[in-house]
Amino acid sequence: MTETTTFTIQGTGVVPGYAYAPVIWATARPTLPSGGAPVPEDRREDEVARFNAAAGAVADRLAARASAATGVAAEVLGATASLARDRGWARAVAKLVKGGTSAEVATVGATEQFVETFQKMGGLMAERATDLRDIRDRVVAELSGQPEPGIPHSETAAVLLAEDLAPADTAGLDPATIVALVTRLGGPTSHTAIIARQLGIPCIVAAAGLDRIEEGTAVLVDGTRGLVEIGIDPAVAEERVTEDAARREAIRVWSGPAQTKDGVHVQVLANVQDGASARKSAETQAEGIGLFRTELSFLSAQTEPSIEEQADLYAEVFGAFPGGKVVVRTLDAGSDKPVPFANHQKEENPALGVRGMRLDRTNEGLLARQLDALAEGARRAQVDKPWVMAPMVSTVDEARLFSALARERGISPGIMVEVPAVAILADAFMAEVDFFSIGTNDLTQYTLAADRMSSPLATLTDPWQPAVLRLIAMTAAAGERAGKPVGVCGEAAADPLLACVLLGLGVTSLSMAPTAIPAVGVQLATVTLEQCRAAAQEVLATSTSLEAKERAAELL
Ligand code: PEP
Ligand code: MG
């Protein structure tokens, strides 16, 4: 018998909960060819056909998985299947094969050409590089008889470990057998985290040293603290999982409304991106919309939609919650979400460049036209005084300008708090507007000077960083002094434990992906407002994100 080694691996917990099971490793990526003898001219047509057959087989498999899946999973698999059928990509491969390279080498070469173009475009387009390389690997595996990369089938419960997971891998996961996800790379907003949140399984990303864990080893995953424990007493592990099962069942049956144990109501709202997601959110426990990311409706628009077209969209979103709260955000084009008609300049450092409210400096009239359309959309949906906020505000002058443009149109103005400068001067900003909404994703990125898309920096882009919590506290305090609402609409609001801390810091509403609401609701019901306030004060006194999380977990 081998002695069990006991050790712990620390990562960034992104979906809370416990799971205990043996691990399986996602199948490694295939070995990619780099050269080889040229293909004789008379065999090149066959070589193109061989590529087409392989790409077709991969696309068919993904499409079959898409039709067996539902929701986001089906969308992701469907989108990946269509990438495998992309004509432009197939033409690029055929061109290389006709020049004499093998189908495998041509697949790699053509993919890199596309990846380069996407990466030059930056932001969300650059993220598609992961999808393209995933397709490349599947096709190369098919061509060269290597196992298809991805998740091995498991009949029994297993914790899935991987370097990183491609969207197509995570989309087909079965939560009946895969009970937790742990990746060595990835960040709090990575695909892995999003899908794990949707499936409701514990998830840890950026777990350094993960490769020390061998296939089949039983591990306890603690998604709250970001810990993977190896060699733990099985009885202790099972006990924690059993306790957690009760919490998960409570989440499954939770029907709202959100309130603390002592009956204090907490406004929970949805983050949406278009009319369809707004209507869908109205079927959940969301009491309204706390963030409508308008730019996500226009990611591929080459020309600016007319005021009429925009008004239709806004009226549709307002219509999802008749008489309810709907907070619209003006275009946050730029950086990770470039919009072709709005962002024209190539920037060296787009996260620090012309994005959000700053577009008003380069695209004259764009903001005013959007506000005209919003006022028209609100009129059509019979909303008296719509709430509209500007993203990426960093000076009081910008807040004043936005406020004036909105008020002229009968709109109630607010701003997002995403730049530390706003939290530091919160009272001066609050004097200009009616409300704040804290965007913790960007506030964390700008406070820690760490790219929110970077997986090696996942421990920095964690909203539990005490410096971020202090800025949130300063912002909420300014709201309290002015008697104006301060919501949170970044990912922090979807973290059940952090949601309680935010409430304790004085935040007045929490807006999140609707699927995250029940877990937050269940956690809020276990604590009193007083407990949240006490925990918030304790957490403010910590100096590391881990310490902050542990202190909060002890107290709440
Ligand atoms: C945020 O920054 O937290 C936010 C909600 O805005 P987005 O994620 O769209 O940048
Ligand atoms: Mg933001």
pLDDT digits (tens, 9 = 90+) for 505-542: 999 999 998 988 999 999 999 999 999 999 999 999 99
Rounded Cα gap, residues 521 and 280, in angstroms: 19
Mean pLDDT of the 56-76 span: 84
The percent of residues above 90 in pLDDT, for the chain, comes to 71
How far does CA 321 lie from the centroid of its chain? 24
When pLDDT is averaged across residues 471-496 and rounded to a whole number, the result is: 96
Looking at residue 476, what DSSP letter applies?
H
Residue 22 bridge partners (DSSP): 218
Place 189 in a pLDDT band, splitting at 50, 70 and 90: low
Q: Mark whether 176 and 86 lie in a shared domain.
A: no
DSSP state of 147: P
Q: Which of 274, 389, 418, 451 to mutate to test the pocket of ligand 1 (most atoms within 8 A of CB)?
A: 418
Are residues 372 and 304 part of one domain?
A: yes
**Model pLDDT for residues 339-391, shown as the tens digit of each residue:** 889 987 888 899 999 999 999 999 999 999 999 999 999 999 999 999 999 99
384 shares its domain with 413: yes
pLDDT tens string 191-215: 677 778 777 789 999 899 999 999 9
| Contact between 221 and 228 (Cβ < 8 Å) | yes
The mean of the pLDDT values for the chain is 91
pLDDT classification of 314: cutoffs 50, 70, 90 = very high
Residue 555 falls inside a structural domain = no
Average pLDDT over every residue of 62-82: 82
Q: Is residue 52 part of a domain?
A: yes
- 184: CATH: 3.50.30.10
Least reliable range by pLDDT among 138-152, 227-241, 478-492: 138-152
Comparing 280 with 187, the larger pLDDT belongs to 280
* Residue 553, domain member (yes or no): no
Is 463 in the same domain as 396? yes
Do 385 and 291 share a domain, yes or no?
yes
**Of 263, 276, 256, 384, the residue nearest 324 (C-alpha):** 384
The strand pair at 218-222 and 227-230 is best described as antiparallel
Q: 155 and 137 share a domain?
A: no
Ligand 1 pocket test: pick from 331, 332, 452 the residue with the most ligand atoms within 8 Å of its Cβ. 332
CA of 448 to the centre of ligand 2 (A): 14
User: What would the pLDDT profile of 401-439 be if each residue is shown by its tens digit?
Assistant: 999 999 999 999 999 999 999 999 999 999 999 999 999
- Helical ranges in 264-306 per DSSP H: 275-282
Domain end among 103, 124, 144: 144
* pLDDT value for 406: 98
Q: Which amino acid is at 44?
A: R
Quick one: average pLDDT of 28-38? 84
Lowest mean pLDDT among 61-75, 162-176, 339-353, 529-543: 162-176
Backbone phi and psi for residue 275, each to the nearest 5 degrees, phi listed first? -60, -40
Work out which ligand 1 atom sits closest to the CA atom of 490. Answer: 3
Q: What pLDDT was estimated at residue 3?
A: 47
Give the per-residue pLDDT at 357.
96
The residue out of 144, 159, 194 marking a domain boundary is 144
Would you tell me how many other CB atoms lie within 10 Å of the CB of residue 20? 24
Q: Does some domain include residue 556?
A: no
* CA gap 478, 444 in Å, rounded: 19
pLDDT band, very low/low/confident/very high, at 77 (cuts 50, 70, 90): confident
The amino acid at 361: R
Is 489 marked active-site? yes
- CA atoms of 546 and 151, how far apart (whole Å): 30
Asked whether residue 165 falls in the same domain as residue 279, the answer is no
What integer pLDDT is reported at residue 512 of this predicted model? 93
How many domains does the chain contain in total? 3
CA 441 – ligand 1 centroid, Å:
5
Cis peptide bond prior to 420, omega within 30° of 0: no
Residues 140 and 164 in one domain: no
CA triplet 189, 191, 196: central angle to 5 degrees? Answer: 90
Task: Give the model's pLDDT for residue 191.
Answer: 66
pTM for the full model? 0.79
Is 543 within a domain? no
- Is 265 annotated as catalytic? no
- Cα separation, 331 vs 341, in Å, equals 11
Residue 112 lies in a domain: yes
State the pLDDT confidence band at 67, using cuts at 50, 70 and 90: confident
State how far the Cα of 220 lies from the Cα of 21, in Å rounded to an integer. Answer: 7
- CATH number of the domain that 63 lies in? 1.10.274.10
8-state DSSP, 377: H
Any idea which of 13-17, 39-43, 169-173, 516-520 has the lowest mean pLDDT?
169-173
Q: How many residues does the chain have?
A: 556
CA separation for the pair 470, 473 (Å, rounded): 5
Assess if residue 158 is contained within a domain.
yes
Q: What is the mean pLDDT of residues 107-128?
A: 79
Residue 334, by phi and psi: left (phi above 0), alpha (psi -120 to 50) or beta?
left
Is 184's pLDDT higher than 70? Answer: yes
Distance between CA 510 and CA 541 in Å, rounded?
23
302 in the same domain as 241: no
Report the C-alpha gap between 58 and 50 in whole angstroms: 12
Using CA atoms, how far residue 254 sits from 11, 151, 284, 521, in Å, is 29, 31, 11, 7
Say if 2 falls within a structural domain.
Answer: no
Q: How many Cβ atoms from other residues are within 10 Å of residue 404's Cβ? A: 11
Helix/strand/coil for 158: strand
- Of 251, 277, 312, which closes a domain? 251
454 and 323 in a common domain: yes
CA distance 480 to 226: 33
Q: Tell me: do 190 and 232 sit in the same domain.
A: yes
Give the structural domain span for 227: 7-27+150-251
On the question of pLDDT at 43 being above 90, the answer is yes
- Whether the ω angle into residue 257 lies within 30 degrees of 0, i.e. cis, is yes
- Provide the CATH number for the domain around residue 501: 3.20.20.60
Q: Whose CA is nearest to atom 10 of ligand 1?
A: 442
Query: Same domain for 79 and 130?
Result: yes
442 lines ligand 1 (CB under 6 A): yes
